[in-house]
């Protein structure tokens, strides 16, 4: 079976856990001493969706503002995106809108998933779950997940959900291409 490469991006402010989520998803480990992402980093994982096997290529961008100039390169060619905030830092939730706007400007319409990370720090939560869910619905996200990269809670679900949505779109596109 042909292995299709699918590029997806991880968007969100620095320190929300993007690299930790990607590392847990692709390598199954949580690195306590995670280094600040410098520029763009890539992770890959082959996933079996039953009807399709895809190589998910996850692009991760350093959260610091000085890397923002890389955003167009970072986003170009992506078939979908996961937007991550930290449930204990509400400013990271507020910034999702900016990331979404930049992304839509470059990619147009694409499947996007919202993730509230650091669920293990529930007692320090500042972003209520229903607020996040309503926001996700209003802004056209296809799903909202709460995760903990640290405790490996729900980490696979958003990646698999996004991959399924993208593959569904690609199939729809293939079928359309065959129509006269
Ligand atoms: P990024 O800048 O978005 O890539 O975030 P990192 O993956 O580098 O994580 C930033 C910090 O948050 C690091 O100290 C991580 O160990 C920590 N971190 C990441 N995910 C979690 C999580 O689910 N729970 C907790 N408690 N800490 C996390
Ligand atoms: Mg990082």
Length, in residues, of the chain: 180
What band does 180 get if pLDDT is binned at 50, 70 and 90? very low
Give me the mean pLDDT over the 53-58 stretch: 95
Strand boundaries in the chain, DSSP class E: 4-11, 40-48, 53-61, 80-86, 112-117, 143-147
Question: Distance, CA 15 to ligand 1 centroid (Å)?
Answer: 6
d(CA 149, CA 172): 33
Question: Distance, CA 35 to ligand 1 centroid (Å)?
Answer: 10
β-pairing, 80-86 vs 112-117, is parallel
Name the DSSP letter for residue 17.
S
Question: Distance, CA 178 to ligand 2 centroid (Å)?
Answer: 41
Residue with tokens 């900016």: 98
Determine contact, residues 7/78, Cβ cutoff 8 Å: yes
pTM over 0.85, yes/no: yes
Residues with CB under 6 A from ligand 1: 14-20, 32, 34, 37, 63, 117-118, 120-121, 148-150
pLDDT digit string, tens, across residues 109-155: 999 999 999 999 999 999 999 999 999 999 999 999 999 999 999 99
pLDDT digit string, tens, across residues 63-113: 777 677 788 888 999 999 999 999 999 999 999 999 999 999 999 999 999
Give me the mean pLDDT over the 52-65 stretch: 87
Domains of the chain, with CATH numbers? 3-178 (3.40.50.300)
β-pairing, 143-147 vs 112-117, is parallel
d(CA 153, CA 47): 18
pLDDT at 150: 97
């Amino acid at each position: 079976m042909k292995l299709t490469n699918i590029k997806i991006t991880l968007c969100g402010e620095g320190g929300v856990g993007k690299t930790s989520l990607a590392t847990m998803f692709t390598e199954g480990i949580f690195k306590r001493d995670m280094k600040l992402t410098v520029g763009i980093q890539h992770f890959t994982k082959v996933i079996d969706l039953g009807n399709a096997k895809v190589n998910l290529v996850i692009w991760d961008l350093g959260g610091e503002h000085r890397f923002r100039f890389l955003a167009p390169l970072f986003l170009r060619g992506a078939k979908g995106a996961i937007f991550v905030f930290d449930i204990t830092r509400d400013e990271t939730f507020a910034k999702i809108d900016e990331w979404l706007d930049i992304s839509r400007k470059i990619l147009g319409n694409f499947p996007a998933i919202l993730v509230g990370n650091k669920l293990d720090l529930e007692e320090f939560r500042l972003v209520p779950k229903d607020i996040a869910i309503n926001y996700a619905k209003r802004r056209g996200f296809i799903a909202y997940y709460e995760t903990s990269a640290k405790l490996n809670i729900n980490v696979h679900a958003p990646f698999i959900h996004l991959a399924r949505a993208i593959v569904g779109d690609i199939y729809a596109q293939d079928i359309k291409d065959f129509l006269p």
